Amino acid sequence: MNNNINGTVDGHSVVEYASLDASVKELIEAAIKVRNNAYCPYSNFPVGAALRTTTGEIVTGCNVENGTFGPSVCAERTAVCKAISEGHREFTAVAVAAYQETEFTAPCGTCRQTLSEFSAKDIPIYLVKPSPVRVMITSLFKLLPHAFSPTFLNK
């Protein structure tokens, strides 16, 4: 998801940070701030994520690595687990801030599936670089169009 211009990249919008409304900027700033707490001594790839709940609260998380890599947890899943433990079950927006200048970093497949458990398909996902001059706006559906749904289990 590489691009530095306004417009569309692979069906995802890229816009100027300054053009976003205050609530989106607040969500992005929370993701950028929590990125500083990432524990990533192996990859040196800090990521922060922020979720907006249906009550308007922002819940954040950062990536936490482990030397054996298997138990490592991405920022998005850290935020989801934290939100669930605080009683939230639905999210209305997501921001992901990675420390990667040349690319917009999207959630991994596992994080996409985890987000789909608690979010509508059209939930906006904001992807930002270290300095958020431009922001990629996508949705869960664009990133994971045929997600497995808990409703499949009820049939």
Instruction: For residue 65, give the 3-state DSSP assignment.
Output: coil
Domains of the chain, by residue range, sit at: 7-142
Nearest to 136 by CA among 109, 114, 116, 107: 107
Flag whether 81 is marked binding. no
Residue 36 predicted with pLDDT over 90:
yes
Flag whether 62 is marked binding. no
Give kind and range of the element (H or E) at residue 78.
helix 75-85
pLDDT tens digits, 95-134: 999 999 888 999 999 999 999 999 999 999 999 998 879 9
Mean pLDDT, all residues of the chain = 93
Residue 87 predicted with pLDDT over 90:
yes
Instruction: For residue 76, give the 3-state DSSP assignment.
Output: helix
What percent of the chain has a predicted confidence (pLDDT) above 90?
Answer: 81
> What's the whole-model pTM score?
0.91
Residues designated as active site: 76
Nearest to 33 by CA among 89, 126, 99: 99
Strands (E), the chain: 7-9, 12-16, 47-53, 58-62, 91-98, 124-128, 134-139
Flag whether 111 is marked binding. yes
Which of the listed CATH numbers 3.10.20.30, 2.20.25.570, 3.40.140.10, 2.60.40.1180 matches domain 7-142?
A: 3.40.140.10
Structure tokens at 19: 């053009």
Give kind and range of the element (H or E) at residue 25.
helix 22-35
Distance CA 149, CA 61 (A): 24
The confidence score (pLDDT) of residue 119 equals 94
Residue 4 predicted with pLDDT over 80:
no
Residue 86 predicted with pLDDT over 50:
yes
